Amino acid sequence: MSDCNTCVVRNRAICASLTADEIQLLGQLGRKQRVAPGQSLIWEGDESLVVANVIDGVFKLTVSNVQGKEQIVGIVFPSDFIGRPFGEHSPYSVTALTEGEVCMFTRQSFDNFARQHPELEHKLLHRTLDELDNARKWMQLLGQMNAEQKLANFLLVMSNRLAGQSCAIADPSEGYTLPFGRQQIADLLGLTIETVSRQFTKMRGKGIIELPNRRDICIRDRAALEILAA
């Protein structure tokens, strides 16, 4: 790769702490790859061979439960890091929900580079701790909140990460397009699809959100949504 310094996620990705010369060295180790919706990059339980920065698109992290059913355990957005550096096997699968692009490295070459650049290792540690904090918050959301609170929190989180994307609304800063359907939302929140649909209908009836179609979310009253989120 030769265009790392002009990368759209350069200042937000884990490589933000590197100098221009270090970025150039890291770029020589990686390659860009376009991915299609439904394409998997990493498989649960397989040897951890690659890691990547997400440049564009949205990805899901999934594991299989004892019944063999897929469970979404995380969502990855542009500037996020995927893969398991310094680990032999991947604890989850990584699959594209939308069309996207990643900056991919072999795990071995990335691990070697990170060991030689403490700033990058430090950034990886911060990312890991942030992910742990997010996982704890998600556990709290699933374990202590009712359906209305769960969906309100989910919509606010998605708003923070997806705001300004394509949406059928006059003010795009308050609208976004979800990269997944209601069944996947239900799986994420530990709810049934019927409950998710009812909560969407209630919020729309109260004028808190608008639903131009099944994927677009338009927030009409953010303050009210934050109150529902408790």
Q: String of b and e for 142-176 (b: at least 16 CB within 10 Å)?
A: eeebebbbbbbbbbebbbeebeeeebebeeeebbb
Taking phi first (over 0 means left), then psi (-120 to 50 degrees means alpha), and beta for anything else, what does residue 45 get? left
Asked if residue 32 lies in contact with residue 103, where contact means CB atoms within 8 angstroms, the answer is yes
Domains of the chain (ranges, CATH numbers): 4-118 (2.60.120.10), 144-228 (1.10.10.10)
Q: How far apart are CA 201 and CA 127, in angstroms?
A: 36
Tens-place pLDDT, residues 79-132: 899 988 888 889 899 999 889 999 999 999 999 998 998 888 888 887 777 777
Number of CB atoms found within 10 A of residue 8's CB: 12
Judged by average pLDDT, the poorest of 63-67, 92-96, 144-148 is 63-67
**Exposure string for 196-215, b = 16+ CB within 10 A, e = fewer:** beebbeebeeeebbbeeeeb
Host H or E run for residue 177: strand 175-177
* pTM of this structure: 0.78
Q: What confidence score (pLDDT) does residue 42 get?
A: 93
**Residue 40 CA: distances (Å) to CA of 20, 69, 98, 119, 151:** 31, 17, 11, 30, 27
- pLDDT tens digits for 1-47? 667 777 888 778 888 878 888 888 888 899 999 999 999 999 999 99
User: Which of the four pLDDT bands, split at 50, 70 and 90, describes residue 210?
Assistant: very high
- C-alpha torsion angle, residues 129, 55, 218, 230 (rounded to 10): 0
